[in-house]
Structure 1
């Protein structure tokens, strides 16, 4: 198969546990780009969380916020916010359980509890600045995603709490809150339609639970060696660990670099 485009998750895929890009990953992506293959970031992160990384890799196209905000060569081509009434209901449920939230727009993010240790710990783990404080941010701007800060044992409190929303854990103290029909795959479909490329001509790399739909959609889904075990059955191929040439080895397997 002659693949035309590759989508890359960030955490655990492009970057290691220290949020650094291995040099062999940088070199592999540059080689891929030199061969005329489209390179695209596909992440649960918001754009302001990965701008320096994208610049370092020379990538200006991305699927962000778990498929909600899509940009091709610097220009937005697709967006889908969470309905405001759903955000309002979720804010009420989280308040009853005394759990903090972070509200993510496409160009800024704010929390309703700047002193919450769970929020500080989880956001700091991303190696990004902490959010501003504005409990009413969701009333003023389009919200594409929420962070809910709670422990795993508390997840049942949110079962069916707000119809139409689902939770995906990404940290022991934090979960993404997104529409239940949202995934990176939705953003990738919009991206591929914009370019007129079929999903069979696409490759995707991922390591987390929010990569299941993405790896299933594309022609070649590659899971990192350090992937969550529940992701690996959704992959066509499991490459090596992010710190062991995982991106380079996966691209070699796809026949995209030498």
Structure 2
């Protein structure tokens, strides 16, 4: 059993902000964490297809992506879970009929209705279209390889009526202040991805730390020993996390790593 400490970092809203980048203090904190021999894992709702160079250049030893659907450490892939195409064909048209704009997210690419309004809701699609067009394609429900679905909701009442049915097949991570929901395979979360990695590395829970800000981080922050909500986190995250730190742009990562004695 390893006595090393392992630290899991959400990306968006924790380490990285779209169009603003990564706080210098967070970069320095991760560098010092690595120098001190601790294990760094990027733990994100993004699939690997939308992890851009400025994120991947951060010091890290492994990646839990797609909100727990894919787990990799070094060159080894420990999990690569995909939604069945039958489930996609059953779910997506019904959501679209009820006013949702869906994006399918997979390890190789994202897919959407390229002539629809997805580009109005998802900035990441614009980045893919402009810089990595090979990672963006027209949605084809019968053949697409997707690990999760993210939906923009235009009719909240209609979506609410679908929740009981959707919850039988998916884990739902719902945002408080924005009309978006992430949909992962049932019983899969960042916490479940962490469990797989800890078993592989034989690291005990007492040596685990995590930082996050959004609804798909809640299970992770509750699962690890030192689950820490960013000061800019959603209210539901702040209320359920065991610990909290300053906001992302208030050097929250760096200060917390210092307080934990990791750097």
Whether the TM-score (by the shorter chain) exceeds 0.5 is yes
TM-score by length of 2: 0.87
1:132 counterpart residue number: 136
CA contact (8 A) 1:14 1:242 kept: yes
2:255 counterpart residue number: 249
More moved, 196-205 vs 142-151? 142-151
Describe the shift of the 1:133–1:19 C-alpha distance in structure 2 as closer, same or farther (beyond 3 A).
Answer: same
TM-score by length of 1: 0.89
In structure 1, distance between residues paired with 2:17 and 2:71: 24
1:84 counterpart residue number: 85
Match of 2:239, SS state, is: helix
CA contact (8 A) 1:66 1:184 kept: yes
1:129-173, Cα deviation, whole Å (9 max, x unpaired):
14634231x322432101222137243142223432243235834
Describe the shift of the 1:183–1:28 C-alpha distance in structure 2 as closer, same or farther (beyond 3 A).
Answer: same
CA contact (8 A) 1:16 1:243 kept: no
RMSD of aligned residue pairs (Cα, Å): 2.2
Confirm whether residue 227 of structure 1 aligns to residue 233 of structure 2. Answer: yes
2:152 counterpart residue number: 149
Describe the shift of the 1:31–1:152 C-alpha distance in structure 2 as closer, same or farther (beyond 3 A).
Answer: farther
Match of 2:253, SS state, is: helix
1:207 counterpart residue number: 213
In structure 2, distance between residues paired with 1:142 and 1:190: 22
CA contact (8 A) 1:122 1:173 kept: no
Describe the shift of the 1:238–1:36 C-alpha distance in structure 2 as closer, same or farther (beyond 3 A).
Answer: same
Confirm whether residue 121 of structure 1 aligns to residue 127 of structure 2. Answer: no
CA contact (8 A) 2:170 2:183 kept: yes
Match of 2:262, SS state, is: coil
Task: Tell me the CA shift for residue 56 of structure 1.
Answer: 2.0
Match of 1:186, SS state, is: helix
In structure 2, runs of 5+ residues without a counterpart are: 130-134
In structure 1, distance between residues paired with 2:227 and 2:242: 5
Q: 1:161 aligns with which of 138, 160, 165?
A: 165
Match of 2:236, SS state, is: coil
CA contact (8 A) 1:93 1:161 kept: no
2:201 counterpart residue number: 195
Deviant stretches of 4+, over 6 Å = none
More moved, 164-173 vs 206-215? 164-173
Match of 1:139, SS state, is: coil
In structure 1, distance between residues paired with 2:155 and 2:61: 35
In structure 1, distance between residues paired with 2:11 and 2:95: 28
